[in-house]
Copies of this chain bind each other. A is one copy, B any other.
Amino acid sequence: MIDPRVASGLRDIPPSAMIPRERMLETLRKTFASFGFVPIETPHIERMEVLTGKGAGSDEVLRQIFEVTNKGGTPGELALRFDLTVPLARFVARHVDQLGTPFKRYAIGSVFRGERPAKGRFREFTQCDFDTVGTESVVADAETAQVIHDSLAAIGLDGFTLCLNNRKILDGLLDSFGVIDRKSAVLRALDKLGKIGREGVLSELTATESTGATLSDDHARALLDFVEQGKGSGETVLTMAEDRLSSHATAAEGIANLRQVLELLDAAGVPQNRVTIDLGLARGLDYYTGIVFETTVDGWERFGSISSGGRYDDLASLYIKRRLPGVGASIGLDRLIALMEEAKRLPTSATTVPVLVAQFPGVNPGTSVRLAARLRAAGIGAEVYPEPISIGKQMGYGSNRGHKLAVIVGPDEDANQVFNLRMLATRHEDKGLAWSTLEDSIRSALGILEQHEAHEPTPPGPTG
């Protein structure tokens, strides 16, 4: 016999995990679409040249690439995509003349990386990306943050923080120190602040080996002060930054951008306490050139950012000459779900329908099929148990799966055109309800159950 396992680093997603996942994906699609982002799909398989093109992916990612060959194909020509950004760049390069700009697209799909398998790290995972391509507008910058916010809020996440920065501000500071040429080394050192602390970073910033940042002690301290004071609510931080850097054109641009983004987020109704500035935030070093975003769930910061993104200068420069600036972000569905699961805020159910219609031994199954079809036509999901086994077993199936109500029609009920309605959690049963009242009875029973559930205490967690 063949072992039915999956390959290392891959996974099956069972219904109990897929049901909330599907619900989240639907919410994301709806939210993206409500802003005018439109869906595209690109193949899972790309030409190797597209994936490995200079600058397309980091060396780390390229080492993890999955090669694809079919019989008669040339080895090394094809591979599985490792993100949705390279395919977007290729897609836009190929189709931009028909698409026109601004082009706002979302894409949701699997990407593949041959990472060393570890808990919560998979070789195939889902990315949910949205981007606005072909504009440098600050309105698009703010909208990107707004979409992150509205998506997470729509999913039902409550306490989360959207953290903004603009790469131009730190650039301006380093330029004012005359050390912009050592930016990479400086940012690498800064990035360790959480791990090695201020003194550790100070000594890295002032290190003088050839790969080092080689900042003077004064500059290193000033930089650390700036970054440490540059964390918090918008107005305070931006005023501080303006005091220090308003005379530097690039930095002033970055500050003005963030100020306007905050204003637009306010106009869009994004609560101010969900937005914060972090002038040390330096994600996507080689890629982002303007505003950058990270999002953490309050109290669950150790899970890292669940939605990140930023503005880039030129999306498709590997393929076409036309310059295409853009801004976008990605929602890390797998990380978000892992977090909600750990916080015990993922509803667990193995069914999506509230009603199980039992099949009573000896009763024509047409009765159950007819009643279930009526419920579905009324917008109420209903599952017919396929076999006339004992009612007790059918109720057990419903309880395990998470059905809320069972409709039972025995021979007497069938003859009298009535049904019994059982609440599966309490086993309470209303008997002899007329078939003609089916939809109303079910609706009212579901309403009562919902009220009960709303009054149950919920465990503390990140979602509300």
Q: Using a CB–CB distance below 8 Å, which chain A residues touch chain B?
A: 1-7, 10-15, 18-19, 21-22, 26, 29, 33-36, 38-47, 49-50, 53, 63-73, 77-78, 80, 89-91, 93-95, 98-100, 102, 104-105, 110, 112, 114, 123-124, 132, 135, 137-140, 142-143, 146, 150, 263-264, 266-269, 316, 318-321, 350-353, 356, 359, 365-370, 372-373, 376-377, 381-387, 397, 400-401
Contact = CB atoms under 8 A, between A and B. Distances in A.
The 10 A-B residue pairs with the shortest CB-CB distance in the complex, in nearest-first order: A36-B383, A70-B114, A267-B366, A15-B38, A137-B386, A10-B43, A4-B93, A4-B319, A13-B41, A18-B39
A26 B46 CA distance: 27
Contacts of A44: 44, 80, 110, 112, 124
Contacts of A373: 146, 267-269
Contacts of A266: 366
B352 A33 contact: yes
A3 B71 contact: no
**Which of A13, A39, A143, A269 has the most C-beta atoms of chain B within 10 angstroms of its own C-beta?**
A39
Given A44-B80, A45-B124, A146-B369, 13 more contacts: A2-B319, A3-B319, A4-B90, A4-B93, A7-B78, A12-B91, A15-B39, A18-B41, A26-B26, A100-B400, A137-B386, A139-B386, A146-B373
Given A22-B29, A29-B22, A384 B139 contact: yes
Quickly give the copy total for this chain: 2
A386 B143 contact: yes
A369 B21 CA distance: 30
Contact of A7 (B5, B46, B63, B89): B46
**Which of A34, A100, A368 has the most C-beta atoms of chain B within 10 angstroms of its own C-beta?**
A34
A70 B2 CA distance: 23
Contacts of A41: 12-13, 18, 21
Nearest to A264: B369
A268 B13 contact: no
Contacts of A353: 33-36
Contacts of A397: 100, 102
Contacts of A146: 369, 373
Q: Interface on chain A toward B: helix, strand, loop, or mixed SS? A: mixed
Contact of A4 (B50, B100, B138, B368): B50
B269 A124 contact: no
Nearest to A69: B67
A50 B383 contact: no
Contacts of A42: 6, 12-13
Nearest to A150: B376
A56 to B, nearest CB: 8
A14 B40 contact: yes
**Which of A98, A102, A373 has the most C-beta atoms of chain B within 10 angstroms of its own C-beta?**
A373
A155 to B, nearest CB: 16
A99 B14 contact: yes
Nearest to A373: B268
B139 A359 contact: yes
